[in-house]
Structure 1
């Protein structure tokens, strides 16, 4: 069955082009890394906001690179699910989308240089590598998104590395605590990418992609998705029980029912439009988890 998807108009064209449901993947690790830093230093809020804005711009630009290169390779059409649709449904020229992505990258780079000037110039290499991976995810001759390593790169860069950078710019150090608390973020960002690849498994296979979901099959991919969720919650439970993490961190379990719902949806439905809400819910889970974990650290700090 072919589903007709309405085209957006006005400001909604540009808003949808950013794929707003994915932007939480940029907010969550910055917030979490900053909250982890609370027990080590006084928060420098200008640095926090600069880091957050730069991360959001990079995520939005990455989505636009995705839009541009998927169109250029003939993968998107007006009925494609999960895309911004500015090119195939709203008549925005591919050049405009690519130019806008590059402008957002340039602004993020300027903000990043300011952050480096305030903290350490070593971050220039780290941030530059993260931006390069954002572009190469769908750009370049061998896009990461077309390989089995999409979840790995997105999880490590957007989940783990952003938490560590947000922590580092506040404390000028990296600790085992920060690294341990960044693990669930890594898994949940990877889960966002995995839900995308499970949703698009049929179309991606037809286009020649070799994503993890395609290589292991849909059923096993859903099992791995469930494992990402389960390990994230068990990780926090283990840190509370064995690593002196505040018991307030168990607040993250308030997001567990939504994770269960996502897995049930992917097991029950197969059509892209049917599972699209579950993919969006995975982004919400990532945000809720990081927000609740960050808030638990804030509560512990305030009560100490």
Structure 2
């Protein structure tokens, strides 16, 4: 099966008073229909900017400075706004971390959902409303017909996020980009939404990019994982392999810092130091100052190399037997 989405050498920059900030650099991955990619990393690693770049939502002073984004055979980098507008919502949808970035507080949910349908399809309002009721029911909102007439403030945080997911599902898009949509929700609601997204992917063949800093979430959701650090992907491959036997020291550090993988009574392991400013990155590996495996070779930026089933950006990758930090223990 050919890839639905192919991102190649993507570079997204922001012009600031202090110079050019390369928020995303040399990012490459592909995604097939029905696949789930977990895009993982700390805050500021470039995950969300990657998603916005795919959607064509990078506004000035930001711009896509290089690379290619091919969606179903169509190049999106350099595409005109009308082309992107036709794709957004209908074939590519995005779920934001804050549902109020999707919902207008002064309009009823019914108005917002129906207008979303009518923006891309010539159907009657009755047909559009029936679809809205159906989709709200699929995301677990009880009495969807009655709740359509309510305003966003009349819903709880979890219910607002369900509405935002329902809006993303209205046109059964080929690709959904979910930008940490469950971060602010309690564990029970989070689990319900993850289940609903899994059902959507399995039943409709929708491809999903799940952006998160939470490895426990992607452990049970993603088919593939791409780990980002300081604007670059440092490791990617099948989820089970990346989580059970990581090759990049940063991925290893992320896994070691998960409480579930720490022996009770022992101190929680952590990555030393802090994420560097992207504005101040040198020519070498951005993780060098925090890495216990760093050598003189790390003064130069490594290329992505293939190790087994995955690729990694490291001069001194971890090559060993699978660790005890398995997918099950992370989850």
- The TM tier, using the shorter chain, reads 0.3 to 0.5
Structure number with the bigger relative contact order (C-alpha 8 A, sep ≥ 6) is: 1
Bigger helix share: 1
Q: If you compute each CA radius of gyration, which structure gives the higher value, 1 or 2?
A: 2
TM-score, scaled to structure 2:
0.31
Bigger strand share: 2
